A and B are shown apart, each in its own frame.
Chain A
């Protein structure tokens, strides 16, 4: 535990003194609790703790807690109305939570909202923009409000235009731009002050398939250096761009992990699909006896009941070879044998509809 190095990294921030006090306190409690790794406290770029929001009687966000560390691209996945936008609005200090707290790069959203916003780039849903301004004007304006020094502004704006490839439409009024260009302007606006953290609410919403691929590519590139939180209800987006997924449904965080982790968790033990010909009772008996089979389910029959299609659950691992041998042993004809890997769509559906 390199206390000295960690402490010195806090120097130079306006809240360094109060932050140091908090840090020492946190060290103490974590030493006692022994649960929280102290290195995480500093690496956590976004830390959300039991964030809750009520709109009148409606519970929109229900005690959501998670942590996002440096240089992760995290997908916030959930059906419409799940609470993704509301959570993001709380993290960006646009909305005050009913309960709970959050911190961004160490700054609390309630105590230091200005510091939080300085370190964030935010692109709201549907990418709202000022239609009467042209692209350059707008980016300069946002850069100005982000206190990007005047001498740097032109350079940074040019840089942004290069990164999101807006070169062709630079002097056009934003109102004249197509959806794809608008989203890119929105992305540029979020990055112009070079924040460490980007929060993007449905950044590919409304784009055509080509534009979607471009946008995802862009996000992936940017994600190499920055911490990005994207929200979406499209599965492919998550598997294409994110290393980590947070699934939210009805205001609650119901699952988190990498896409592979979530899939294997939900899949549980491996299942195989097999198509056999033989006496039905015989087949059932044979399958029940086999020790490598946990259970099976008839999925259907073809060719007037001659061929039986079954889904077979294994006790562990891939049982296709064992199933083959069993079929040979029992003299059943075999014409199809495959494993099904469930998709993230199905994981999502199972989790969010249960």
Chain B
């Protein structure tokens, strides 16, 4: 099974780079990330990366559904899904393959931001552990966004709709945990909604402590949305 998953992942990853798409994503992402960081850098006057990781959830909110929108929607539209799904390949292999490809792209995007920690280390003496945790949290949070975006892509044959749905669901899951939303929630329910928020656990990891609760949360989100994705694909109602 892994063979098929890897074959599909490899092909999808290559396809990202076969068109201007991946290059544009990466460039825009790096520009935005660096822009936000530098904006606050001198104001902060501290050798740390909080203003790098801070905006990340919102950056992901808009960029990641754009990365995943084509994964199912395009194949559905041009009909290649019919070819793919009449090959001796299981649906779950296809879901995993596509997820892994987008995860690989995310990893590349994150890896290319290495200039920021380099800069910080050169100018000061930052806490290395916190930075590593920050990246780990980014990866997990990003992977969750990817799983949600992938699921959204499976819901529609239209990439734009997939994009919007992806943002909608990601936004919902992000906002429920944010302070400005929790203001309106009755006190008893606050911890519950707080736990559900995608951003909450990211901040938590970003503080430098890898709490298993946070890891379990992210893995669960990924698991749930990949499973939902599988259900949608198995019961293909678009045929």
Contact (Cβ within 8 A) A145 B239: no
User: Counting CB contacts under 8 A, is A234 at the interface?
Assistant: no
- Count the A residues whose beta carbon is within 8 Å of the partner chain — how many? 26
B23 to chain A, nearest CB (A): 14
Contact string, B86-106, partner A, CB cutoff 8 A, digits 1/0? Answer: 111110000000000000000
- Known contacts A132-B18, A144-B7, A145-B7; decide if A94 and B90 are in contact (CB<8 Å): no
Residues in B neighbouring A189, C-beta threshold 8 A: 83
Which B residues are CB-close (under 8 A) to A118? 88
Is there a chain A Cβ closer than 8 Å to B19's Cβ?
Answer: yes
Interface-side segment among B74-82, B111-119, B133-141, B164-172:
B74-82
Which of chain B's residues have a CB closer than 8 A to the CB of A126?
79
- Given A94-B86, A144-B3, 7 further pairs, Cβ under 8 A: A95-B236, A117-B86, A130-B80, A133-B11, A145-B84, A146-B88, A147-B88
Q: Min CB distance, B16 to chain A, in Å?
A: 10
Main secondary structure of the interface of B (DSSP, over half): helix
* B18: A residues at CB distance < 8 A: 132-133
CB nearest neighbor in B for A132: B18
What A residues does B90 contact at CB under 8 A?
Answer: 114
A56 CA to B45 CA in the complex, in Å?
65
Residues of chain A contacted by B236 (CB below 8 angstroms): 95
The complex places the Cα of A144 from the Cα of B86 at a distance, in Å, of 14
With A95-B239, A126-B79, A145-B4 known as contacts, the answer to whether A132 contacts B86 (CB < 8 A) is no
User: In the bound complex, how far is the Cα of B87 from the Cα of A122, in angstroms?
Assistant: 9
B85 at the interface (CB under 8 A from A): yes
> Quick one: CB contact mask for A122-162 with B, threshold 8 Å, 1 for yes?
10101011111100000001101111000000000000000
In the complex, whether A92 has a CB less than 8 A from a CB of chain B is: yes
The reply to whether B79 and A145 form a contact with Cβ atoms under 8 Å apart is: no
Known: A114-B90, A118-B88. Contact between A94 and B82, CB under 8 A?
Answer: yes
A105 to nearest B CB, angstroms?
13
Distance between Cα atoms of A94 and B81 in the complex (Å):
10
A301 to chain B, nearest CB (A): 55
Which residues of A line the B interface, CB within 8 A? 89, 92-95, 114-115, 117-118, 120, 122, 124, 126, 128-133, 141-142, 144-147, 189
C-alpha spacing A129/B79, complex, angstroms: 8
How distant is the Cα of A92 from the Cα of B86 in the complex, in angstroms? Answer: 6
Output the residue of A122, A126, A130, A142 with the most chain B CB within 10 A. Answer: A130
A-B CB contact pairs (8 Å), 30 listed: A89-B82, A92-B86, A93-B86, A94-B85, A94-B239, A95-B239, A114-B90, A115-B88, A117-B86, A117-B88, A118-B88, A120-B86, A122-B86, A124-B83, A128-B78, A128-B83, A129-B83, A130-B80, A132-B18, A132-B19, A133-B11, A142-B87, A144-B3, A144-B7, A145-B4, A145-B8, A145-B89, A146-B87, A147-B3, A147-B88
Nearest to B87 among chain A residues (CB) is: A145
Give CA–CA (A89, B19) in the complex, Å.
31
Q: Which B residues are CB-close (under 8 A) to A92? A: 86
Tell me if B127 counts as interface (CB < 8 A to partner A): no
